[in-house]
Amino acid sequence: MPSKMNEVCTLKLRQIVKNPALMLGMSPKDVNKYKKIAAVYGNVAPVIVGTPQNGGYPILTGSARLEACVQTGIREIPAVMAQAQDEGEQLKLALMLSALQDEGGAISEGELISRLINDYGVAPRELVKLLGKSKAWISKRMALAKNLTSAVKSMVTDGTLCPRSAEEVAKLAQADQAEFATNAINCGLNKNEISQLIQRYKNALTDDVRCEIIKSPLNALSKISVRQRKKETSDAGLNGPGRKLQSAANYAAQMLLKAANMVENAEEEALSAAYPQLNRLRNIMGEVTRTINRLVEDVSPGKQPGGDVQW
């Protein structure tokens, strides 16, 4: 047993008590990363635990390392016992360690924040000072823990959906979250596009509009973009419509080239798994090509009014 605080010691796995909040942010990817390390070098990455409670040491950070040891048959792990005297202080330390982005992530942070505020009466302003984050950041992390369904939380944990996009998805009714998030991911929508759709969903006057946003977010987004384009009249500055269009076109070209390269090098199994998305991409590319041909014909470089293109 460890005799001094803040010194590395060795604990048996059965002595360590898992934290359910931290396990929410533990992805298989993190576990596999530490399993590879353990397979070559052994259990060299210590975990941090709190002072013993009921004969066990509550883990404060290192859940993925602990799980990797369990799966590889390792029975002991190096640990550091931190000077956090009660459970509330231990949760604060776990939250601070998670905010360092070592592991855990947004979902775990939201669960820890919720417990500190709801169960231990910690004021949000105290957490703002503790973490160096804004009050809005604290509120958004809490919303992830409180409002997201388990399916969407899993998307955040495995990296499929970024936390900023998840903050927008959390504004939807839970019954619609998983379907919308899945469709938005398959369409490759970013946080800003998802935010536009969520705002449109909240302001929609009919169920048909809301249904299209959930089931066909790309189609719904194209309609929003058309309306916005008609209102934009100034192209001044770095944020003008022209600059935004240039950036979008460059980004789309890069992504298409990346996808084409991945298709050329993919195994047959991977191609079969991605067939629905690839087929949708092919259809979209055809539609985009026709639209661009129709709209840019009259503004081609060297084109004279009423004449042919002069290169």
Q: Mean pLDDT for each 10-residue chunk of the chain (311 residues)?
A: 62 89 81 83 82 84 88 88 79 78 72 91 89 89 91 87 91 94 89 91 90 91 61 53 76 80 82 86 84 69 47 33
For residue 214, tell me if it sits in a domain.
Answer: yes
For residue 167, tell me if it sits in a domain.
Answer: yes
- The rounded Cα 255 to chain-centroid distance in angstroms is 19
For residue 274, tell me if it sits in a domain.
Answer: no
pLDDT given for residue 189 in this prediction: 87
| Nearest residue to 47 via CA among 1, 102, 86 | 102
For residue 4, tell me if it sits in a domain.
Answer: no
pLDDT given for residue 117 in this prediction: 92
For residue 165, tell me if it sits in a domain.
Answer: yes
- Counted domains in the chain: 1
For residue 163, tell me if it sits in a domain.
Answer: yes
pLDDT given for residue 302 in this prediction: 52
pLDDT given for residue 305 in this prediction: 47
Domain of 162 in residue numbering reads as 149-231
Match 């259990």 to its residue by tokens: 43
pLDDT given for residue 181 in this prediction: 94
The CA distance from 241 to 232, in Å, is: 7
For residue 161, tell me if it sits in a domain.
Answer: yes
pLDDT given for residue 91 in this prediction: 84
Give Cα separations from 128 to 69, 123, 204, 227 (angstroms): 34, 9, 35, 39
pLDDT given for residue 301 in this prediction: 54
Tokens of 246: 């240039």
- pTM assigned to the model: 0.52
For residue 209, tell me if it sits in a domain.
Answer: yes
pLDDT given for residue 3 in this prediction: 44
